[in-house]
Every structure is written in structure tokens, then in C-alpha cells.
Amino acid sequence: MLKKKSKLLSVNKNYVPSSDDDGDELYRNGIFVFNITKMIEYVCKHKDEIVLESIEVKAYRKGFSELTESHIDKTDVASPIILAEISPGRYNVINGNHRLEKAYRMEMEYITAYKLKPEQHMPFLTSLKAYHAYIEYWNSKIKDGIL
């Protein structure tokens, strides 16, 4: 099976960062801060446009020191996690680390995940600086031939 080649991203001059309203859950990854609350709302409204697949728990689980033990027990592993394509062909867990950890502890091999492409998760970046940095980062990976 041939791997689909990733495309360079271009800057949308009309890009408006996602708002960061009181109570919104945020995912911080360095300069990249995503509004998870709004991302989940988007996923719920556009499920037919987003890839949903079964993923290997061990492939995405990392040993986290920041997980809240009491929250792990309350999670529903039947609810899909959210992965974002952070660089061409590489997905990171954006929402669902507690569910992933619970699945791991339950010795589950697979869990379902929504896989968001850049055009689906970039609207949830909370700053213009992060938006531009993300495009530069993505395009550098393609130009360097790191797919």
C-alpha cells in the first residue's frame, strides 16, 4: 500500500486563533496550545468527516507523571480519544491520555481514536504565533523529506 504524500501548508491571512474562554480545557505542547473544548465540539458535529480507527494502545501510550489517578478510574475507554497529525504521518494524543492509560491497565490491545489532519486541528490553536510556527514546522518536515 502506497503512503499518501503530505502537502505543504499555506498561511491563511484571515486565520483567527481559537478563543480561550473561561472553563475551556487546553492542551499545551510547547508553543502549541489547543482549545480542547472547542475541538471536541467540532469532532462531535463533524464525525462523518474525521477518520475513526482502532489504534494500538502501546503505540500511543506514554508513561505520564501528570495523570490524575482518580480520573483514570472514571474514564470511559469506549469513548474515542483524539489524535492530531502534528507532523507528516505522526499523530499525538491531544485528548484521551487518561482513557489510553486505563485501556493499557486493562490490558486492551486497541482503542478507538479520531485522527485529525492539520486542517481539522489548526483552527483550535489559541495564538497566531503558534499558527505560524506550526505551518513552518510542518513545511520544514516536508522540505527536509522527513515523512
**Which among 117, 119, 97, 129 has a CA at the least distance from the CA of 31?**
129
What's the rounded Cα separation, in Å, for the pair 23 and 25? 6
Predicted confidence at residue 64, as pLDDT, reads 60
- Cβ neighbour number for residue 20 with a 10 Å cutoff: 13
- The three-state secondary structure class of 97 is helix
pTM score of the predicted model: 0.87
pLDDT in tens, the chain (147 residues): 334 568 899 999 999 999 989 999 999 888 899 999 999 999 999 999 998 999 999 999 876 667 888 889 899 999 999 999 988 999 999 999 999 999 999 999 999 999 999 999 999 999 999 999 999 999 999 988 754
Quick one: three-class SS letters along 25-65?
CEEEECCEEEEHHHHHHHHHHCHHHCEEEEEEHHHHCCCCC
What's the rounded Cα separation, in Å, for the pair 30 and 122? 15
Predicted confidence at residue 62, as pLDDT, reads 79
- The answer to whether 145 and 88 are in contact (CB under 8 A) is no
- The answer to whether 93 and 82 are in contact (CB under 8 A) is yes
Sign of the CA dihedral running 105, 24, 55, 76: positive
Predicted confidence at residue 1, as pLDDT, reads 38
- The three-state secondary structure class of 101 is helix
Q: Domains (ranges, CATH) in the chain?
A: 26-143 (3.90.1530)
Q: Rg of the Cα trace of the chain?
A: 16
Predicted confidence at residue 13, as pLDDT, reads 95
- The answer to whether 87 and 138 are in contact (CB under 8 A) is yes
